[in-house]
Structure 1
Amino acid sequence: MIYNVEKETLNMQDKEKLQLERLQKTVQVVYENVPFYKEKFAENNITPEQVRSLEDLKKLPFTKKQDLRDHYPFGLFAVDQKDMVRVHASSGTSGKPTVVGYTRGDIEVWSEVVARAIAAAGGEPGHVLHNAYGYGLFTGGLGLHYGSEQLGMVTVPVSGGNTTRQILLIEDFKPQVICGTPSYVLNIAESMEKMGKDPRQTSLKYGIFGAEPWSEEMRQTLEEKLDIKAIDIYGLSEIMGPGVSIECHESQNGLHIADDHFYVEVIDPETLEPVKDGEYGELVFTSLTKEAFPIIRYRTGDIAAIDRTTCKCGRTSVRMSRVKGRIDDMLIIRGVNVFPSEIENCLLQVEELVPHYQILLKKKGTMDLIELQAEVNESTFEKCGGDMKHLDMDELKRRIEYQIKSNCLVSIHVQIMEPNSIPRSEGKAVRIVDLREEKVLQKK
């Protein structure tokens, strides 16, 4: 089902004309109403009148997350407070949160792009949607909620946590769609198994997962455990929230960007120059229709590539690859760049393990050390009589380390853990624990 056929199948010529009209209007708005952008434009010797084509976007300055923090809380808003109806904020890993605002018009646009996204994932009017994303300042819960209602679905606003109740509602309300972070929905499935229930026997047909990086191997795990089609959704509060892009259930081959509302670029994060379509780089988004919090060339920190070919589902929107990782997530191990998602891929190829892990960053003298904690599954634990001493630890470590060495080209010390010893997530999973400064980094 295509929710908005006119906009989602627009031909390239008409789309670029619409994008340019909206870009020129946005540039004029931020120039007149956001002092930060007026100053930045002056530094770059650019005025709104000089934006005559989409190519001219490259003349405009980038916006970074630090810019949002430097102007906390409302310094980058383009409308008066009386014209706003809501604010959201992301917690971040340190310091002040990044705050974003919405007018009534923004909420309507957001509702539509999320409705498009849910429809692309397989949702239909009359279906029941179980929303296990957290509600509150985090955009995930309310974003999916409004889009679900816009599509005409029966929305269950259960939020995150209270896993036993989640299971009860899934059994009794019989939803076709579940939304949440992949790590938490996996936690729900595992909890069902511990209760003697088969998670493959529920009414669920589709899952919409995001808010944290997850691998193709994690997708396979979720699809097998729950007998569903697992769909990747992408968004970030600085741009709008969930609904910036999503995979379609027909092909699951890249995430369709709502590019009549969000213009995408991909740049080399070092040179800041654009890369060719199909090449990986940092995603940069410019909002085209936001009123309260328009943003120009926002550097997301997310690594992906884009594809402009038409998808078999019929949508003509630009597609982005699944996010490979984040620039600030990237680990440098003896000169080799590694993303946690790449390590996850390796772990899920070892049948004795479950997809729960943590990467510990430690210090020994002046040297940084990296330790991977991996957890065995229940069946493996039972086979060794419930005693890890009876497990051939050396052989298992050797296979894990071989997978990582072969695929990631690095050597990492592995520690094998008992089942359920790594904390389970009721929201975003904590994958990297930095013990060098005795703090936890929860990555987006």
Structure 2
Amino acid sequence: MYWQQEKECMSRADLEQLQLERLQSTLYRVGTHVPFYRQKFREMKLDFDSFNSLADIHKLPFTMKQDLRENYPYGMFAVPLREVVRIHSSSGTTGMATVVGYTRNDIKNWADLVARILTAAGLTADDVIQIAFGYGLFTGGFGLHYGAERLGASVIPISSGNTKRQIQIMQDFKTTALVCTPSYALNIADVMLDMGINPSGLSLKFGLFGAEPWSEAMRREINEKLGIQSTDNYGLSEVMGPGVAGECQECNGLHINEDHFLVEVLNPETLEPVQPGEIGELVITTLTKEAFPVIRYRTRDLTRLLPEPCPCGRTFTRMHRILGRTDDMLIIKGVNVFPTQIESVLFDIDGTAPHYQIIVERENHQDRATVLVEVKESYLFDQMKKQSALIETIKSRLASELGIGVAVKLVEEKTLERFEGKAQRVIDKRKI
């Protein structure tokens, strides 16, 4: 199924011509109306009027989150405030918030792009979509809400939290699609079990999850527990919100909406393009944003591009699910470690529950990592030999995956914190 088939299946030549024309328009917009970019272009002696090839993208300056913060609140807007109909911002938990604006046309495009992703995931106007992302300055809830309404579906804007009420609403309103973080979907599944509710008795068929990295093993766990087909979607507030990319029902990579976003994958150290299929940092240039266009925005998200054609027929390039962030990556004993690597191992070991936490400490100038793993009751209270065997299995598989040894501690189910939004898997005591 397609939402805008003629756009989603356009030829590569037509797409690249459209991207070039839209990039030229965007460069004119920011060079004329955004002092930050005007100054950057002047310093780099760039003439945006003479930009005539996508291959010249490397000549353009990068935009960093710090640049957005330093121009708080409206310094990066490319239109007068009277043309801005919506303002969102990041939480600002690690610094000053980043503020983004939307014109009426930006909102229209946003709705269409999310409708594309919902359609690719199998949803139609007949679905009842329960959005358990937060509403407010965060873009997640509103962006998916717009797309669902544009699709013609029935939207339940329940927001996040109050898990038992979420489940009650699913039962009463006959929810067919759940939209939230994957970690919250697991939490909902666990609470259902505690309440004695069998998901097979619900109308739930689809899960659309995003806003945090998650593994294929976690997808299998969610699908099995809730009896649904789950797909990944990607977006970030700085370039729009949800709607940048999403999986089709093939579940093999996220189709990037390339008619609205020009993407690069670069080595985060050298800032040079990686080889095809190699992992690097995702860098995004917006092509149609009016209020808040950004040039070569460094997302800090790590992924790789999948150039092979998709059986679904869409011609937009796919990207692998987000593997982690450059600023979330742990360096333990000189080795790069991502929480999703640990997750993918734990979810495939019998006896473990799908909840874990990583604690990193420094003792005598040496890094030490301990993985706390919830285990099923039968293992925790079984004979010591069985516990020891499980610990050794986990340690062995983690060592094979990570290339370093880590300590493993088994804990009872429901010991570790549950999350209604993005999961906080790591406690790095080296920074405390």
Compute the TM-score of the two structures, normalised by the length of structure 2: 0.97
Look up the match of 1:400: 394
Partner of 2:238: 238
AA of the residue aligned to 2:231: I
In 1, Cα distance between equivalents of 2:288 and 2:376: 48
Amino acid corresponding to residue 120 of structure 1 in structure 2: A
Quick one: distance in 2 between partners of 1:394 and 1:379? Answer: 14
Deviations 1:140-192 (A, max 9, x none): 11111010000000001111101111111111111221110000011111101
User: How many angstroms apart in 2 are the aligned matches of 1:272 and 1:436?
Assistant: 28
Q: Residues 379 and 393 (structure 1 numbering): CA distance in 2 closer, same or farther, change over 3 Å?
A: closer
Moved over 6 A (4+): none
Amino acid at match of 1:131: I
Paired residue for 2:430? 436
* SS of alignment partner, residue 430 of structure 2: coil
Q: Aligned ranges for residues 195-206 of structure 1 at < 5 Å?
A: 195-206=195-206
**Structure 2 counterpart of 1:139, one-letter code:** T
Work out the CA distance in 2 between the residues paired with 1:322 and 1:437: 28
Summarize the Cα distance change of 1:27–1:348 in structure 2 as closer, same or farther, 3 Å threshold: same
The yes-or-no answer on 1:184 pairing with 2:184 is yes
- Of 398, 413, 417 in structure 2, the residue corresponding to residue 423 of structure 1 is 417
Match of 1:194 in 2: 194
Partners of 1:309 and 1:316 within 8 A in 2: no
Does 2:311 match 1:312? Answer: yes
Q: Secondary structure at the match of 1:360?
A: strand
Which letter does structure 2 place at the counterpart of 1:98? Answer: T
**Counterpart residue number, 2:127:** 127
**Matched residues in 1 for 2:165 and 2:291: separation?**
37
Instruction: Specify the SS of the correspondent of 2:343.
Output: helix
The CA deviation at 1:434 is: 2.5
Q: Give the 3-state SS of the residue equivalent to 1:436 in structure 2.
A: helix
Letter in 2 for 1:418: E
Gaps of 5+ in 1: 439-444
1:161 corresponds to which residue? 161
1:341-365 per-residue CA deviation (whole Å, 9 max, x = no partner) reads: 0011111122111121111222334
Residue identity in the other structure for 1:411: G
Q: Which blocks of at least 5 consecutive residues in structure 2 are unaligned?
A: none
Q: How many residues align?
A: 432
Confirm whether residue 74 of structure 1 aligns to residue 74 of structure 2: yes
Equivalent residue of 1:88, what SS? strand
Aligned residues of 1:308 and 1:317 also touching (Cα < 8 A): no
For residues 107 and 343 of structure 2, the distance between their equivalents in structure 1, rounded to whole angstroms, comes to 36
Query: Aligned runs of 1:238-387 on 2, under 5 Å?
Result: 238-249=238-249, 251-381=250-380, 384=382
Q: 2:187 touches 2:419 (CA, 8 Å); kept in 1?
A: yes
Aligned Cα root-mean-square deviation (Å)? 1.5
Superposed CA offset, 1:299-332 (max 9, x none): 1111111123331111111111111111111111
Matched-pair contact (CA < 8 Å) for 2:379–2:387? no
CA distance change for structure 1 residues 187 and 90 in 2, over 3 Å: closer, same or farther? same
Structure 1 SS opposite 2:360: strand
Aligned to 2:51: 51
Corresponding residue SS for 1:253: coil
Q: Could you tell me the percent identity over the aligned residues?
A: 52
| Residues 200, 54 of structure 1: alpha-carbon distance in 2 compared, 3 angstrom cutoff | same
Maintained 8 Å contact 2:333/2:366 = no
Residue-by-residue CA offset, 1:248-299 (whole Å, 9 max, x unaligned): 01x1111001110011111111111112321211111000000111000011
3-state SS of 2:274 partner: coil
Q: How much has 1:396 moved relative to structure 2?
A: 2.2
Distance in 2, matches of 1:434 and 1:331, equals 9
User: What's the secondary structure of 1:135's corresponding residue?
Assistant: coil
Q: Is the CA contact 1:200–1:225 (under 8 Å) kept in the aligned structure 2? A: no
Shift of 1:201: 3.1
Q: Give the Å deviation of 1:229.
A: 0.8
Cα 1:363–1:92 change in 2 (3 A) is farther
Residue type at the aligned position of 1:302:
D
Task: Say if 1:62 and 1:297, in contact at 8 Å, map to a contact too.
Answer: yes
Deviates most, 70-79 or 207-216:
70-79
CA contact (8 A) 1:50 1:56 kept: no
Cα distance in 2 for residues equivalent to 1:245 and 1:277: 19
How far apart, in 2, do the equivalents of 1:190 and 1:160 lie? 16
Quick check: 1:215–1:345 contact (8 Å CA) kept in 2? yes
| Higher mean C-alpha displacement, 165-174 vs 198-207 | 198-207
